[in-house]
Structure 1
Amino acid sequence: MGNKLSGRDLIKLGFPKNNSINIALGQISRYRKREKKERIIAEAKDVLLHPENYKNDGTWGKVAEGLVNPVQMRMHQLNTTRAPFTIYGENEIDQQAKFQLYDALKLPISVAGALMPDAHSGYGLPIGGVLATDNAVIPYGVGVDIGCRMSLSIFDLPESYSKGRELQLEAILKDHTKFGMYEAHAVKADHEIFSRAAFQDIPLLKGLLGKAYKQLGTSGGGNHFVEFGVAKIDYPLAEWKLEAGSYFCVLSHSGSRGMGAAIAKHYTYLATKQCPLPKNVQHLAWLDLNTHDGQEYWLAMNLAGDYAKACHEDIHRRIAKALGKRIVVTIENHHNFAWKEMVNGKECIVHRKGATPAHEGALGIIPGSMTAPGFIVLGKGNPDALHSASHGAGRLYSRSKCKSMFTHGEIKKVLKAHDVHLIGGNVDEAPMAYKNIQAVMGHQEGLVSVLGTFTPKIVRMDR
């Protein structure tokens, strides 16, 4: 008997010949490869005798599920007709993004869909795509950067606070924000999220705990940012404790960092192995929420979303401390997430990949670009949009096109014309890369009410 556990070893014990064996071997190879083979085999015997005791086990859960409720693997075919859908700002959206939504609407699990006016093509669902499904979650329908979110903190300081303090504020962003794969804070912060049971119960998350701790309070690359600016409040809410007016504030955009990306990769792999689909829609493979992997992904996704929120809290805490000022109100919202919501009287899984939740009375922030205003909004709860709105202006040009179309010199001229200071940033995030936010907002007047605006002044991005 060799030292490495094989599928033959499990079959000799009496395990059925199905895909759950391959999944178990993958889990053992990845998370328990240092344990002795004899110990794993002894545990496997117990799983075979008492599978019900291992239903939620990180290593054996999928195998136990297959022993209790064997499932036959089969190729899923697309429906010939699409589920009901609505497109907002159709003329603003590229054809590929529309076709990606059309394909998603033909999945046998699809109930309804919508496309926001900032939409553009992506992997699986298009960015700006909203899809309601029946008891199933699509990892690529959520996205790679799980729980990516906006967070706007307003200080009880006038708009003029930044005047004469530009160098000081730039230094605060340079010293107290970190970006990309390698930057981290020298002094780490703790957070209650690291004591969550999921970090111990799910092998994948257990291995990601160290990275999550290291990256707390940092931001990703690409279009992620932290920026000082001015919030102009036109219609304040009573709980804000702010009068109508213009205030100094900080806005951040980032997600769940390396942890979210690892979760997306892992569960997308599992979904594609268990949910065979035609090649053109294989990125839309789903996990049934009644299965072990579906439940485990749901736990991991929610943890990643809470972690993204914790990162923003830490970013804003550090900045407020450096300023020596108190935050009066914070407005924040997820995108790249899935929620259990009622759609046409039935509980569904609503995926919002690059779309803002806009339930009736829900607050949100929809950014423009580094030279265009963002909008503080209140959701109207439009059912045709699946209670959603855009998550920004949306890209007009791809990252690769930007590199051939724009120069750093051109970007500097545009920034100077708008009196915006930029720290970091690359050509692919040029302000000209984005759609006209005013046009985008015009297409969603039936989805959100505008309470105010945010104007960027000092922007920090990855280099």
Structure 2
Amino acid sequence: SVIPTKGAIIPAAVGVDIGCGMMAVRTSIRAEHLPDNLFGIRSDIEAAVPHGRTDNGGRNDKGAWQVDPPTVAAEKWAGLKAGYDDVVARHPKAGHPRGLGHLGTLGTGNHFIELCLDEAGDVWVMLHSGSRGVGNRFGTYFIERAKYEMRRWYINLPDEDLAYFAEGSEGFIDYVRAVSWAQKYALANREVMMDQVLAVLKRTFPDLVTTQHAVNCHHNYVSREKHFGKDVYLTRKGAVSAKDGELGIIPGSMGARSFIVRGRGNPDSFCTCSHGAGRAMSRNEAKRRFTMADHIAATAGVECRKDEGVIDETPMAYKDIDAVMAAQSDLVDIVHTLRQVVCVKG
């Protein structure tokens, strides 16, 4: 969705995975440099980046750092902590105990880390994640806070998820502070994971360098922008900024192509494109409809999990990415087409 608002922000439109987005870098590794069996590389990435969720997110959750996080995570948290403390000092119930513990971790669901090959045979690292538990807590808290404000001021809406903070109000100021912080955290989270993955690859390819500036873009966020001559708060959820010349990432699924794109600045779309294929069915429907044999066939040639735990993420559960790209040819130009060879899921 792409929702422009004047004088207000709707927290539920942003959602709870604040700052969720993509990051990709091209490396100096070539397809012919990769080993025939990529299981070892996948295993090393899984060991280097916490992923998934166990223990109901408790003390023994494998999706958080169980020992001291890497230095780069601690350094980034040091730069983020004051902003977090400022939000939580005003809203203690928005606090989350795993701010540092989740920084540089993947999460679950459709979040992933991939090694991909482009049309020239260059290896890319691409990953998808957001602001993890702390962003979820901020989002959930302020969505409920906005609903409370509507009840408090007897404002009746056709749907309670349209609850908003009016510009200039205390709730608005606090939400903007919180959502801006969570978006910074999400960017940092992806950067830490990328550092971890590149460090893994350098053990096998010590001369590895990145050969293109990293693309790091949100697809669940709000920003202040000007459209049709008016200043608005533009909320993109499942959507990517596609201003003229701006690079973005549009992923497919575990067995489909992904794309590095350049925005065309189409004003009718508020300079926006889709963030990916999007689901064709619910997770439960995918589990009901597809078998392990279906999933194995659909992910042939990709080193990834091939077990019951990822049936809901099987490629057939998503829309045809080629049809999605064709439908938005007036919004973006394709710069690179990527095909994954390794996929790590939470």
Calculate the TM-score normalised by the size of structure 1: 0.66
Distance 1:383 1:205, change over 3 A: farther
Which residue number in structure 1 is paired with residue 39 of structure 2? 167
Residue type at the aligned position of 1:156: S
Partners of 2:84 and 2:323 lie apart in 1 by 43
Pairing partner for 1:344 from 225, 228, 243? 228
Equivalent of 2:114, from 197, 208, 227? 227
> Could you tell me which residue of structure 2 aligns to residue 432 of structure 1?
316
Q: 2:128 maps to which residue?
A: 253
Return the offset for 1:434. Answer: 0.6
Residues 363 and 376, structure 1, Cα contact 8 Å, conserved in 2: yes
Match among 182, 190, 201 for residue 86 of structure 2: 201
Does the alignment pair 1:384 with 2:268?
Answer: yes
Q: Which residue of 1 aligns with 2:19?
A: 147
Structure with the bigger RCO (C-alpha within 8 Å, sep 6+) is 2
SS at match of 1:215: coil
Aligned partner of 1:406: which letter?
F
1:284, distance to aligned residue in structure 2 (A): 1.5
Could you tell which deviates more after superposition, 320-329 or 185-194?
185-194
In structure 1, distance between residues paired with 2:169 and 2:339? 46
CA apart distance, 1:252: 0.5
Q: Distance in 1 between matches of 2:188 and 2:37?
A: 28
- Partners of 1:223 and 1:350 lie apart in 2 by 24
Do the aligned residues in 2 keep the contact of 1:177 with 1:226 (CA within 8 Å)? Answer: no
Which residue of 1 is the match for residue 172 of structure 2?
294
Deviation digits for residues 439-461 of structure 1 (CA, Å, limit 9, x no counterpart): 11111111001111111111111
**What SS is found at the alignment partner of 1:392?**
coil
The equivalent residue for 2:329 is 445
Matched residues, number = 320
Partner Cα separation in structure 1 for residue 198 and residue 37 of structure 2? 15
Shift of 1:209: 6.1
Change (3 A) 1:391 1:292: same
What's 1:134 paired with?
Answer: 6
Q: How far, CA to CA, are the matches of 1:346 and 1:179 in structure 2?
A: 42
The share of aligned pairs that are identical, in percent, is 32
1:174-220 CA-partner distances (Å, limit 9, x unpaired): 21121134222333131334444322222247974641100111011
Q: CA deviation at 1:415?
A: 1.3
Describe the SS at the equivalent of 1:293.
helix
AA in 2 matched with 1:150? M
Does 2:141 match 1:266?
A: yes
The DSSP-based 3-state class of the residue aligned with 1:421 is coil
Counterpart position of 2:28? 156
Match of 1:328 among 183, 192, 211: 211
Conserved 8 A contact 2:96-2:137: no
Counterparts of 2:157 and 2:311, CA distance in 1: 33
In the alignment, structure 2 segments of 5+ residues that lack a partner are: 54-60, 203-207
Cα contact 1:193–1:306 (8 A) shared by 2: no
Distance in 2 between the 1:153 and 1:145 partners? 23
Bigger-Rg structure (1/2): 1
Aligned residue for 2:251?
Answer: 367
The Cα shift of 1:320 comes to 1.1
Name the CA distance, whole Å, in 1 between partners of 2:158 and 2:279.
23
CA distance in 1, matches of 2:182, 2:25: 21
1: CA distance between counterparts of 2:192 and 2:216?
A: 14
Separation in structure 2 between the aligned mates of residue 195 and residue 450 of structure 1, nearest angstrom: 35
1:409-429 deviations in whole A, cap 9, x for unaligned?
22012212xx11213752111
| Residue-by-residue CA offset, 1:16-58 (whole Å, 9 max, x unaligned) | xxxxxxxxxxxxxxxxxxxxxxxxxxxxxxxxxxxxxxxxxxx
Q: Distance in 2 between matches of 1:231 and 1:177?
A: 24
Does the aligned pair in 1 maintain the 2:255–2:340 contact within 8 Å?
Answer: yes
Residues 421/259 of structure 1: CA separation in 2 closer, same or farther (3 Å cut): same
Are 1:421 and 2:300 matched, yes or no? no
Q: Secondary structure at the match of 1:352?
A: strand
CA 1:176–1:205: 2 relative to 1, 3 Å:
farther
Output the amino acid matched with 1:213: L
CA distance in 1, matches of 2:75, 2:175: 22
- Alpha-carbon distance in structure 1 between the residues aligned to 2:284 and 2:37: 36
Quote the residue 2:205 is aligned against: none
> How many angstroms apart in 2 are the aligned matches of 1:414 and 1:209?
38
1:154 shift after superposition: 1.2
CA deviation string 1:67-106 (max 9, x = no partner): xxxxxxxxxxxxxxxxxxxxxxxxxxxxxxxxxxxxxxxx
Deviations 1:277-319 (A, max 9, x none): 6565111211112111111111111111111111111111111
How far does residue 400 in structure 1 lie from its aligned partner after superposition?
A: 1.6
CA distance in structure 2 between the partners assigned to 1:169 and 1:444 by the alignment: 35
2:77–2:103: 8 Å Cα contact kept in structure 1?
Answer: no
TM-score norm. by structure 2 comes to 0.88
Identify the residue that residue 100 of structure 2 maps to in structure 1.
213
Q: Deviations over 1:349-372 (max 9, x none)?
A: 001010011011110010011111
Cα shift readout 1:119-151 (whole Å, capped 9, x = no counterpart): xxxxxxxxxx10100021111111110000111
Residue 275 in 1 paired to residue 150 in 2? yes
Deviation at 1:408, TM superposition (A): 2.0
Q: Aligned partners of 1:222, 1:257: CA distance in 2, in Å?
A: 12
Note the residue ranges of structure 1 that are not aligned, 5 or more in a row: 1-128, 233-244
